[in-house]
Amino acid sequence: MTVVVLAMDGSPDSVAAARRLASRPLLAAPLSGHVAHVSPVPGSPGLSRAALDAENRSQADSAFAAAEAGLPGMPLVRHWLHGDPAAELVQLAGTPDADAIVPGAKGRGAIVSALPGPVVSTVLAQATVPVIVVNPRAAQARAPAQA
């Protein structure tokens, strides 16, 4: 069984990563997924701890639901983590002996949309397993226009 850590923050890029994993198998079947959503450490100004926890829980639940919808039939284990996203993803990949980490690219702006964001860059630099970065905007830019 191939074990994958899927980074899900609920963004369109992370949802695209889940869909890509389901629609175009890149790894040997059967797949088992560890879906990771990383929330910031509580301490944001202006929000109570309870309000921040509720907001983070809501975002995590939405991210998990998106992963489950995008990967029907794949066994998934939910991981709601707190802290630095890159560090948490790299650490999680070592726990279930993951074969790969699959994040969305999440580059910012027109020029850097083809480049990974800071979390993915750090995961690429620190991971001890292959990292498969899905960049849906780059794929859309290459796709021919539909009439």
pLDDT digits (tens, 9 = 90+) for 43-54: 656 678 788 888
Q: Indicate whether 15 belongs to any domain.
A: yes
In a domain, residue 41? The reply is yes
Does residue 108 surpass a pLDDT of 70?
no
Mean pLDDT, range 35-62, rounded to an integer: 82
pLDDT band at 111 (very low <50, low <70, confident <90, very high): very low
Boundaries of domain holding 28: 2-138
pTM of this structure: 0.79
Of residues 76 and 17, more confidently modeled: 76
Span 111-124, average pLDDT: 68
**Is residue 50, in this structure, part of any structural domain at all?**
yes
- Structural domain contains residue 146: no
Give how far Cα 54 sits from Cα of 16, 28, 82, Å. Answer: 26, 37, 14
With respect to residue 109, please indicate whether it lies within any of the assigned structural domains.
Answer: yes
Cα(90)–Cα(127) distance, rounded to whole angstroms? 5
Phi, psi of 125 (to 5 degrees): -75, -30
Residue 48 domain-assigned (yes or no): yes
Total domains in the fold of the chain: 1
**Domain membership flag for residue 145:** no
Q: Which residue, chain included where needed, has tokens 């995961």?
A: 123
CATH code at position 55: 3.40.50.620
Average pLDDT score over residue span 49-69:
89
- Domain for residue 29, yes or no? yes
Tokens of 28: 């040997």
How far apart are alpha carbons 42 and 55 in whole angstroms? 11
